[in-house]
Every structure is written in structure tokens, then in C-alpha cells.
Amino acid sequence: MQIMGMGGLGMVQGQDQTANSLNKTSKDLNKILVRLSTALRINNASDDAAGLAISEQLETQSRGFNMAQQNVTDATSALNIADSTGGQITDMLQQQRDLALQASNDTLTDQQRQGLDTQYQSLTQEINRTSGSAQFNTQTVANGQGLASGNAEIQAGANAGDQIRMPATNMTAAALGINGTSIATGAGARAALSTIDNALDTLNSQRTTVGAMTNAFQSVQNNLSVEDINTQAAQSVIQDQDMASGLADLTQSNLLLETGTEAFARYNEISANHLFGLLQ
């Protein structure tokens, strides 16, 4: 038996190197294909461990901004219901004021004032019913309880501590100071006029606060939208695949794979011929 010479040993080593290079090229090609198919540069931690950590943190922030926008939208809806309720109660207070003005006129008898007072008391009851029934997601928004208590907090940001407190809103007859008022007498009607004017001032002040908070929430909504866009842009820079670069890498890897495959086949052919020569 003949011993393999240095030429044969070198041929085997070259064959192994070609096979290793071909295997590496194939893996690189698969990685490029995954990146192009997902349009993401980072698909696994092994692609870029540090980049993945940053990208995931940005994803967390982006999702937080989206949820905060929904929270603020819900809070704005609740405030809109409260303001609409305030508009209804304002109309009822104006009706009570008209009745009080009418009952203040001494050309009326107390019996006639009693009829006016029946309407007046019905409006007081309706103010309580309206303020108590105004709700968002089963929570009251206009009677000093639930979302109107002044303690309700809205998660208006992506992180802990980004809360905004809803304003206290109480549009009940008691809070407005008209509970117990009556226009059954001339003196009572004149006293009720002053009380109703104060109630209108109190109600207008609450509606102003609600309106200011609604505007503030709109600003928060706009800011969250901008922050989300910027965060997604930053994440895209880190994680997204540059398609032009990826296609160039794909072309290069394909060429290397084709060249390596041909070289490996050639080495196999030469090795077979060499072995055949040794056996002769």
C-alpha cells in the first residue's frame, strides 16, 4: 500500500476548508433570507444582543404610549358626559329661576305659587336624578362619586407615575345649594333667586374645570402620539432590515455559495482521481 503524499494531504485539507466555507456561506445565506422575509435585521438575540434589548425596551414604550392614548380617550369621553350633564342641569336651573321670578310677583296668590312650587320641586328632583345617572362604564361622573370624586386617576403615560387626576364634579342639588329651597311664598321665591344664581355660578365653575381638563387631555393625546411616532422610528433604525443592503448581501452570498459548491465538487473529482491513481 502506498502512503498518501504531501500533495494528497494538502488536497484533503483544501477539501475540508472548502466544505467549511460552503457550510458557513449557507448559514449566512439562510440568515439573510430570514432578514429579508421578516424585514427585520434582528430576529434572534444572536443577531445583535444589545440591539435586541434596546429594541424590546422601545417596543415596551411604544405599547405603553398606545395604551395611554386609549386611557386618555376614555377619560375624555367621561368628561364629555359630565359636561353634557352640566348643560342639562343648567337648563333646569334656568327654568327654576324663571319660576322663582314668576313666584316673586305679589300679584300671585299663595295657591298659585304652590302650583309653581310643584314644578320647581320636580326640577330639583330631576337635577338629582340626572347628576346621579350620568355614567361612563358604570361609574358616575357628575355626583361627586366614582370618576367625579376627585380621586380618580388616569394612567396618561407609558410609565409608572404618569397619572393625571380627574377633577371633582358634583352637580347634585345639595352640592349646588338648592336643596330645601321653595317658591311656595313670595319671600321664599325671592330667597330662591339668590340661591339659584349662586348655583349657576358653581355649576359654571365646574364646567369650566371640566373643559380645561378636556383640553389638557387633548394636549396629552397629541404628545403621546408624537412620542409614539418617535419611539417607533428609533426602534425601526435599530431593528429593521435595510432591504437594499440585504439584497446586496443576498447576491454576494449566492455567488459565494455557487462558487463554493463548484469548488467542492471539483475537489471531490480531483480527490477521486488521485485516489484512483494511488490504487493503480
pLDDT per 10-residue tile (average), the chain, 280 residues: 48 56 59 56 64 81 93 97 97 98 94 96 98 97 97 94 95 97 96 97 97 96 92 74 52 56 57 52
Predicted pLDDT of residue 233? 83
d(CA 147, CA 79): 9
C-alpha Rg value of the chain to the nearest Å:
40
pLDDT digits (tens, 9 = 90+) for 94-152: 999 999 999 999 999 999 999 999 999 999 999 999 999 999 999 999 999 999 999 99
Q: What CATH superfamily classification does 78-218 receive? A: f41 fragment of flagellin, N-terminal domain (1.20.1330.10)
pTM (2 d.p.): 0.71
Predicted pLDDT of residue 163? 94
Predicted pLDDT of residue 64? 93
Predicted pLDDT of residue 3? 44
